[in-house]
Chains A and B, each alone.
Chain A
Amino acid sequence: MTQPLSALRLGTAWARIAGLMDEAAEAFVRTSFSSVVRDNWDMAVGLMDGAGRQFAQSSRSVPSFVGTMPVTLAAMLRRIPTARLAEGDVLISNDGYLGTGHLNDITMVKPIFAGGRIIAWIGSTFHATDIGGAPGVEARDAWEEGLTIPVARILRGGEENEDVLAFLEANLRQPAEVIGDLRAQFAMYDQAAPRLLRILAEEGIDSVEQLSAEIFARSERAMRQAIAAVPDGEVFDAVTADGFEHPVTIRLRLAIAGDALTLDFTGTDPQIARPVNSPLNFSRAYSNYAVKCAFDPTTPNNDGCFRPITLVAPEGSIVNPRRPAPVWGRHLTGHYLPMLVLSALGQLIPDRVVAESGSPLWNVYFTGEQADGGRYVRMFFMNGGHGAAATHDGAACLSFPSNVATQPVEQFENAVPLLVTEKSLIPGSGGDGTMRGGLGQRLGFRVVGEKPVTATYRHERVQHPPRGLLGGLAGRGGRDLLNGTQVAAKARLVLAPGDTLVFETPGGGGFGPPEARSAAARDRDAAEGYRP
């Protein structure tokens, strides 16, 4: 007989399951073979109930994965129905339109059986630095962007599916890294699944649904209460991205009615035949993320949190493209969305938001040949300045919204034949305001080996810098320089030995009118060299 869960028991069980997700993520990070997982936490672990609804997710991860796993699972099950799944099976796919929006994110899900039936699912998504093919700024469709792994069983009854692994091995530049990460996740599932069962048993919970229903109901209620506390209203905002040949404009209508919130991207520019389209899952993840930050930052992520949010994204627009629009750089559109949502909310609740930050995330892929002939692909992430808030200056070089860390320069130089010439703050790059935007940074890379290096990057906020809020000024736009000369912000360059490529990330936007900035704050900026 099912007893209702008391606040005491629910609190305990929920906390234990949230802890389980974080430990699983930590175990994966510690055993990972890729810098992008262990240094950037570009991965997430989640638990879904028998009906495929996500009730727990690891807390530290990039937000691209917020709420995407259940959508991917449902798509997987349309291809391979549950009736055909057995204990020890693990499903895999990286289809960008089913998953998180590009091929580099591989999602795996494993059914957890008890008493002969599936009671829950554990899954994870992680970023593979290389996914084969020739992803680049020139891609005109999704096929150019690399290998698509269709929905398949990577494990059958606990045994590795050699055919699928052979496909991967044949298509990837660094198969050992990706396969090493896959295996690290198999071990993670094997450790986490029995512990979920143990927690349920120890907490006297009869079914996963008994727990998930409570979690969804309480999380939904908390979000609705937070939304209802803000007066009803409708606001409009738009942001313009650099784009390729033409700028791209994203338009938002944000409406609060009672305890529900609508984000309507009607009027946004159509998809383009360049790899910056943001598939719906990715757009939704980043939009939901911003709402969560502003209204209920503390409840652990689960399906219930997002039920009060309605997303309207016209099909065929750049925030909800149709196949086969190329999507490799979907963050170049998607990362604008939380900043746009927060700017719009600034008209309603200015003390709960921040000005725009120096993102979409800047990064660069270096590929080439080591002195010993081995191939390498290495990413380097570099963050811009953070937007200012009503109460304080923006932080320098702080990741938003993707929450991706940098890597130690010493590690990088040990791995590839490049020398980092500089990693320093750019004085004056933060937008002026009552509160100043955070500074961006300058990073230089010099080819020190005897072989050429291919650098692929695509950067935004060069022509359209991060906007200030409520009278605050824009931050300084970013720049890309080859041997001292400014070059295109989206490019694939072959660097010769001795060449130096410099990136200057954008500064964050300021908050409030600059006239109101205190003299003490200006003096400090001058003394510390935060302004030139």
Chain B
Amino acid sequence: MNPERPWQIGVDIGGTFTDFVLLDSRDGRLFNGKVLTTPQAPERAVLVGIAQLLAQHDVAPEAVRHVIHGTTLVANALIERRGVPTGFLTTEGFRDVPEIGTELRHDTYDLFMRRPDPLVPRRLRLGVPERLRADGSVLTPLDEDAARAAIAALRDGGAQALAICLLHAFRNPVHEHRLAALARQVAPDLALCLSSDLVPEIGEYERGTTTICNAYVLPVFERYLARLGEGLRGAGLTGPLFLMLSDGGTVREDVAARHPIRLVQSGPAGGVQAARLIGQSAGAADILCFDMGGTTAKAALIEAGQPERSLDFEVSRVDRFRKGSGFPLKVPVIEMIEIGAGGGSIARVDRLGLIRVGPDSASSDPGPACYGLGGTLPTVTDADLLLGYLAPDRFLGGDMALDVAAAERAIAQHVGAPLGLSAIEAAWAVHETVNQSMAQAASVHALEKARRIEGYAMVPIGGAGPVHACAIARKLGLAKLVSPPGAGVASAFGFLAAPIAFAHLRAMVAPLATLDLDALRAMLAAMQVEGAAMVAEAGVPPAQVETRLLAAMRYAGQGYQVEAAIDAAAVQAGDRVALRAAFEAEYRRLYGRVEATLPVEVVGWRVIVAGPTPKLELATAPTGIGPAGKGHRRAWFGEGFVEAAVFDRAALRPGDAIDGPALVEERESTLVLPPGSTALCDAALNLVVTFT
């Protein structure tokens, strides 16, 4: 640690609030801050919040080593269509590929299903005469005059960014590079994105969509970063600015500015990194991160300290929770499942006489019935209030009084009456249904990943997470739950916990048996050098750089691949048996069998170059003398009301133990401890819950 610059700042721009975490790396002290997000100029909230936080804790800007930032800006620009007019250049005859898509209905039975409107309208999509064969060799040379004319036409049509995706360019970028050179001459002001740079993978639709999305947000994001960087330097923060990528790595701002699409899930990735660190601080390496907010819940798996990753993501879904209804992106992300079940999710009895919760949400306007803002439909929060889990007079620290009678009316009318249940029984049924659907989603996700999560520890974050966490952990058969203080600013905290890292991907389709090892070694070495340079520029000493190698493989004839971690020594030694064994171990884990007689082919390689994972030493607090209670409240856990003890989270000290039924309150959330659970406060002020 640099003793001159001991402070680090994490900033997370969310939809409503921008969250801050200030960490003193000398002693692990953490301070939080929160200001309202300023959607028109998001950097304003960041600058204001940082200035406030530094002033409040008497920290000089020069003492800040760096700022690490995550943001929903990229995702929101895509969802709300606030990018720049973008042009698309492709091989002649294929301009409509981004509009035609997969031709599949994401809902077989919905006659009225809609696809998202293409980001690039048809008039700004043009083809140029050129053609590569499937092996990457040139069949038709690029017609440069036609290309210049097309670029000029797009410029004149109002395009401010240009996405270029030619057929088979992932094998040979020659024509894409030439088009880029021409574009720099003809229209030097256009922001340029090449599919061969961004996603060197087979599949023209997905590669094209990813390139388009990147181009569409690039100028907006670049300008934002410039304003933010200027503002930070103006405020005396001269250290580097890092950004959190969707796969949980951080990169310097200049790298992020070229690949904004890699930030599409930046904020949630920070939450997962936080869960990893919180879990580890309590001695757990296998973690289920559970993040429940107002409209959705997300779950992610972390095994042996490594979050589960994927190379597929989807953005701008027409139907938010329906796979296939958005734009597919080929970008590295931390894999998460998202379901439409948050505090504001609406409960109802459906045509089959079953309780359904979500995916529609009362959100904050009109909000749950108990907010008294005009909402009359019952929500998860209304059920939680009736069950006694939330204090009507202490919600958001007492800033908002909750209306119990309104909640009761809504639940009784819309759920109780149709099923012949009392209001409280109906509230319990709603609570159980939402818990069950989240437990099921998490368990399905774990099964898809072939993970046995019984030994995992759950880390609940987000406002509604701690209310539901214990019940869900129990349904999943988890033995342990680690509830951190300040779950509401977990993402910003997580940014500080992520390593400097960048993943490079390269396609190389070849049978394992005839794989050209010399070419492979050369390619991997180049990827490693490129990644190491990025990491070194970010200030990581070479001795601390780690490289991980993964190969995507499949049986010849299959279309989906399985990614397996590869020992670099096996590649150096040309040990094809070891490569096959690595693939088959993963394949067996996923699908339960291997095909010993079939040939294996390699599809692509991923090199992750990373600096060390920051070791954040969290401050320890003095041992307490037994928890200070705030009295009791009636709460329902399925079999009649019981008296649950109520505690103030801020007053808890290491060593304090609480037996459920109990409610542990903080400003933005309440940890609900059902009967049969016990919480113990650890040195980092986590509540570690076990079940009997």
CA distance A33 to B109 in the complex (A): 27
Chain A 368-405 interface 0/1 with B at a Cβ cutoff of 8 Å (1 = within): 00000000000001110000010110011111100111
Measured CB to CB, the closest approach of chain A to B412, in angstroms, equals 16
For residue A421, CB closer than 8 A to chain B, the reply is: yes
* Chain A 23-78 interface residues, beta-carbon cutoff 8 Å to B: 23, 26-27, 29-35, 38-39, 41, 59-61, 63
Take A23-B447, A180-B598, A530-B122 as given contacts and tell me if A389 and B112 are in contact as well, using a CB distance cutoff of 8 Å. Answer: yes
A59/B108 in contact, CB under 8 A: yes
CA distance A289 to B109 in the complex (A): 8
From B133, B168, B352, B560, A30 is in contact (CB under 8 Å) with B560
Take A176-B557, A400-B105 as given contacts and tell me if A222 and B134 are in contact as well, using a CB distance cutoff of 8 Å. Answer: no
For residue B93, CB closer than 8 A to chain A, the reply is: yes
Measured between beta carbons, the chain A residues less than 8 angstroms from B590 are 27, 30
Measured between beta carbons, the chain B residues less than 8 angstroms from A515 are none
For residue A450, CB closer than 8 A to chain B, the reply is: no
For residue A413, CB closer than 8 A to chain B, the reply is: yes
Chain B 111-146 interface 0/1 with A at a Cβ cutoff of 8 Å (1 = within): 110110000011100000001011000010000000
B105/A399 in contact, CB under 8 A: yes
For residue A81, CB closer than 8 A to chain B, the reply is: no
Query: Which of B185-193, B374-382, B433-441 forms contacts with chain A?
Result: B433-441
Measured CB to CB, the closest approach of chain B to A380, in angstroms, equals 11
Measured between beta carbons, the chain B residues less than 8 angstroms from A23 are 444, 447-448
Take A39-B559, A180-B555, A408-B204 as given contacts and tell me if A11 and B433 are in contact as well, using a CB distance cutoff of 8 Å. Answer: yes
Query: Which of A14-22, A108-116, A238-246, A317-325 forms contacts with chain B?
Result: A14-22
Take A15-B440, A33-B555, A408-B204 as given contacts and tell me if A7 and B429 are in contact as well, using a CB distance cutoff of 8 Å. Answer: yes
CA distance A120 to B351 in the complex (A): 27
In the complex, what residue of chain B is closest to A10 when comparing beta carbons?
Answer: B354
Measured between beta carbons, the chain A residues less than 8 angstroms from B104 are 41, 399, 403-405
From B100, B107, B591, B595, A180 is in contact (CB under 8 Å) with B595
Measured between beta carbons, the chain A residues less than 8 angstroms from B93 are 421-424, 444
For residue B31, CB closer than 8 A to chain A, the reply is: no
Measured between beta carbons, the chain B residues less than 8 angstroms from A107 are none
From A34, A39, A381, A425, B100 is in contact (CB under 8 Å) with A425
A398/B557 in contact, CB under 8 A: no
Measured CB to CB, the closest approach of chain A to B502, in angstroms, equals 26
Measured CB to CB, the closest approach of chain A to B595, in angstroms, equals 7
Measured between beta carbons, the chain A residues less than 8 angstroms from B353 are 7, 218
Measured between beta carbons, the chain B residues less than 8 angstroms from A273 are none
B139/A408 in contact, CB under 8 A: no
CA distance A225 to B99 in the complex (A): 38
Measured between beta carbons, the chain A residues less than 8 angstroms from B80 are none
From A15, A26, A396, B448 is in contact (CB under 8 Å) with A26
Take A33-B555, A397-B103 as given contacts and tell me if A218 and B352 are in contact as well, using a CB distance cutoff of 8 Å. Answer: yes
A406/B102 in contact, CB under 8 A: yes
For residue A528, CB closer than 8 A to chain B, the reply is: yes
Measured CB to CB, the closest approach of chain B to A499, in angstroms, equals 16
CA distance A423 to B95 in the complex (A): 8
A292/B109 in contact, CB under 8 A: yes
* Chain A 297-321 interface residues, beta-carbon cutoff 8 Å to B: 297-299
Take A396-B99, A406-B103 as given contacts and tell me if A183 and B593 are in contact as well, using a CB distance cutoff of 8 Å. Answer: yes
For residue B647, CB closer than 8 A to chain A, the reply is: no
For residue B94, CB closer than 8 A to chain A, the reply is: yes
Measured CB to CB, the closest approach of chain B to A472, in angstroms, equals 15
Measured CB to CB, the closest approach of chain A to B94, in angstroms, equals 6
For residue A485, CB closer than 8 A to chain B, the reply is: no
CA distance A289 to B110 in the complex (A): 11
Take A23-B447, A354-B111, A528-B121 as given contacts and tell me if A410 and B203 are in contact as well, using a CB distance cutoff of 8 Å. Answer: yes
Measured CB to CB, the closest approach of chain A to B188, in angstroms, equals 27
For residue B255, CB closer than 8 A to chain A, the reply is: no
CA distance A131 to B122 in the complex (A): 41
Measured CB to CB, the closest approach of chain A to B546, in angstroms, equals 30
Take A61-B108, A398-B115, A422-B94 as given contacts and tell me if A190 and B592 are in contact as well, using a CB distance cutoff of 8 Å. Answer: yes
* Chain B 74-116 interface residues, beta-carbon cutoff 8 Å to A: 93-97, 99-100, 102-105, 107-112, 114-115
In the complex, what residue of chain B is closest to A191 when comparing beta carbons?
Answer: B592
A389/B123 in contact, CB under 8 A: no
Measured between beta carbons, the chain B residues less than 8 angstroms from A3 are none
In the complex, what residue of chain A is closest to B357 when comparing beta carbons?
Answer: A11
From B107, B206, B559, A32 is in contact (CB under 8 Å) with B559
B352/A389 in contact, CB under 8 A: no
Take A27-B591, A410-B134 as given contacts and tell me if A383 and B559 are in contact as well, using a CB distance cutoff of 8 Å. Answer: no
CA distance A342 to B559 in the complex (A): 36
In the complex, what residue of chain A is closest to B597 when comparing beta carbons?
Answer: A176
Measured CB to CB, the closest approach of chain A to B596, in angstroms, equals 11
Take A11-B433, A12-B436, A425-B96 as given contacts and tell me if A398 and B111 are in contact as well, using a CB distance cutoff of 8 Å. Answer: no
Measured between beta carbons, the chain A residues less than 8 angstroms from B429 are 7-8
CA distance A393 to B150 in the complex (A): 29
For residue A488, CB closer than 8 A to chain B, the reply is: no
B103/A15 in contact, CB under 8 A: no
CA distance A12 to B558 in the complex (A): 35
B111/A294 in contact, CB under 8 A: yes
Measured between beta carbons, the chain A residues less than 8 angstroms from B133 are 413, 419, 448
Measured between beta carbons, the chain B residues less than 8 angstroms from A296 are 351
* Interface-centre pick from B96, B123, B168, B429 (highest chain A CB count, 10 A): B96
CA distance A448 to B356 in the complex (A): 55
B440/A392 in contact, CB under 8 A: no
B109/A423 in contact, CB under 8 A: no
For residue B290, CB closer than 8 A to chain A, the reply is: no
Chain B 562-594 interface 0/1 with A at a Cβ cutoff of 8 Å (1 = within): 000000000000000000000000000011110
CA distance A195 to B203 in the complex (A): 35
Measured CB to CB, the closest approach of chain B to A481, in angstroms, equals 15
From A35, A225, A293, A425, B559 is in contact (CB under 8 Å) with A35
For residue B202, CB closer than 8 A to chain A, the reply is: yes
CA distance A433 to B266 in the complex (A): 44
Measured CB to CB, the closest approach of chain B to A175, in angstroms, equals 11
A441/B448 in contact, CB under 8 A: no
B591/A187 in contact, CB under 8 A: yes
CA distance A297 to B351 in the complex (A): 12
For residue B167, CB closer than 8 A to chain A, the reply is: yes
For residue A332, CB closer than 8 A to chain B, the reply is: no
In the complex, what residue of chain A is closest to B92 when comparing beta carbons?
Answer: A422
Take A7-B429, A410-B134 as given contacts and tell me if A180 and B354 are in contact as well, using a CB distance cutoff of 8 Å. Answer: no
A423/B593 in contact, CB under 8 A: no
For residue A2, CB closer than 8 A to chain B, the reply is: no
In the complex, what residue of chain A is closest to B105 when comparing beta carbons?
Answer: A403
For residue A343, CB closer than 8 A to chain B, the reply is: no
Given contacts A30-B560, A38-B560, 4 further A-B contacts (CB under 8 A): A294-B111, A396-B96, A406-B102, A414-B134
The 7 closest A-B pairs by CB, nearest first: A422-B93, A297-B109, A405-B104, A11-B354, A413-B134, A33-B557, A528-B122
User: B residues touching A (Cβ–Cβ < 8 Å)?
Assistant: 93-97, 99-100, 102-105, 107-112, 114-115, 121-123, 131, 133-134, 139, 167-168, 170, 202-206, 349, 351-356, 419, 429, 432-433, 436-437, 440, 444, 447-448, 509, 555, 557-560, 590-593, 595, 598
Instruction: Report 6 cross-chain contacts, Cβ distance below 8 Å, ordered by A residue.
Output: A30-B590, A395-B115, A405-B104, A409-B97, A423-B96, A424-B96
